[in-house]
Amino acid sequence: MQDKSTSRRSFIKSSAIAASGFFIVPRHVLGKGFIAPSDKLNIASIGAGGKGGSDIANAYNNGVNNVVALCDVDFARAKGSVDKFPNAKRYQDFRVMLEEMKGDIDAVTISTPDHQHAVAAMACMQMGKHVYVQKPLTHDIYEARKLTEAARQYKVVTQMGNQGSSNPTQKVMMDWLDKGLIGKVSDVHIWTNRPVWPQGNPLPTEKPPLIESMDAKGWDLFIGTAQYVDYHPLYHPFKWRGWWNFGTGALGDMGCHLIDPAFRVLGLGYPTEVECSVGQVFLKDWQAEYNPEGCPPSSSVQIKFPATKRNNTPVTMYWTDGGIRPFHPEWIPANEPLAEADSSNGVIMIGTKGIMTCGTYGNTPKIYLKNGEKIEMPAPDPNFKPLPEHGHQISWAEACKTGFNSKEHKALSSSFDYSGPLTETVLMGNLAIRSYMLRKSNGKNGFNYDGRKKLLWDGTNMKITNFDEANQFVQRQYRPGWKLV
């Protein structure tokens, strides 16, 4: 299962079988419906609650594979996984799990808060373990670049958890563009109703006791690479998304789902510039709250890309969150919802001949032509039974068995070669937002906000070229005791 040297577990198993005169029979010899032990992947989960529960369950695939270990800092939140896999060993610290079970794990699903994605994935890959990592792939741009490079270096099979990338509708949209139905695309509008958790609040100062399901060690492990803060229910569970220490805000939550269709269809790569503005909160007259530690309640981001082989014209992408959506373009009828039935999330690609739209995960794609014609996907076959999340985790698990650079691996929709650059684009918006909030005293009882301008990006070297202070957000400083490589 690994392209590196044979694992200790595999060596012992092979030696014992050879000595006994028995051999593992391949699945195709047993016939349809039979699964040989050699075809079962041994999977562990780092972050087994919330989305991690469905990730590990889908990779398990109703017993096609084995779940051998679960790692979580708060198992009360992972009760569903514990109940489903009672024989799996349990750990609080993924580093301990990997060391103790290094010969018994083939692949790992990683579904922690954003700030722990990179260190967990890197530790697994360095041990030759295949990885499935929830979106966004990483917390900052540098981490995304390093994971992309590491996947090739350690020759492991990778997949990011933006399951809409495996939606067959994305291939339909690519085909529509290739046929020239909407012409060349110059403008893309993307929006979301996130955040749907508390965001834009002042940094909490009170120190309530830890919840009963988590001890001090568990909280320290939850903090991980982040800068230490005391426990507060505004951080855990789930609400960590709204704080830069742990999360990546609305862009990190939904950007990898919603930017993905345009990124794939148009063949986009590194952007060249970014600019933003953010919503404000007023608790006092004439005095906006200043909370640089927290993500804003809403934001508007503009990102520009050069022409590509798939779309031979520069593209400007407009992102809005906090429930702010674009207005109806000229060729979409006034009474039509935008992208989704309630227009709450969506993608609009505006071309010279028409407009292509889709909802979250690439659902319900449509084309509105300049001549008034509307093109929609045909109704699905009522007898068709789709795989969970379009088989996104299942296809990754099967590719792990065939190995790095196999045809199954190359067919994956979001391996790090693709999802790494996509994540960098998503996090470019956050770099602009955080730069927008930088301020210095002007010596006159006020402040200067020097980052509130267009930022020019050198993608190859991961550097803002016209405002050096923004580069602090390319790579964050880990807490002592943690490192990426």
Calculate mean pLDDT across residues 79-107: 98
Whether pLDDT at 40 is above 60:
yes
**Residue 468's pLDDT band (cuts 50, 70, 90):** very high
Answer whether residue 315 shows pLDDT above 80. yes
Q: What is the pLDDT of residues 129-178, one digit of tens each?
A: 999 999 999 999 999 999 999 999 999 999 999 999 999 999 999 999 99
pLDDT at 359 over 60: yes
Confidence of residue 36 (pLDDT cuts 50, 70, 90): low
pLDDT at residue 381, rounded to an integer: 84
pLDDT in tens, 191-244: 999 999 999 989 999 999 999 999 999 999 999 999 999 999 999 999 999 999
What is the reported pLDDT for 476?
Answer: 96
Is the pLDDT reported for residue 76 higher than 80?
Answer: yes
More confident of the two residues 5 and 107: 107
Q: How many Å apart are CA 458 and CA 270, to the nearest integer?
A: 8
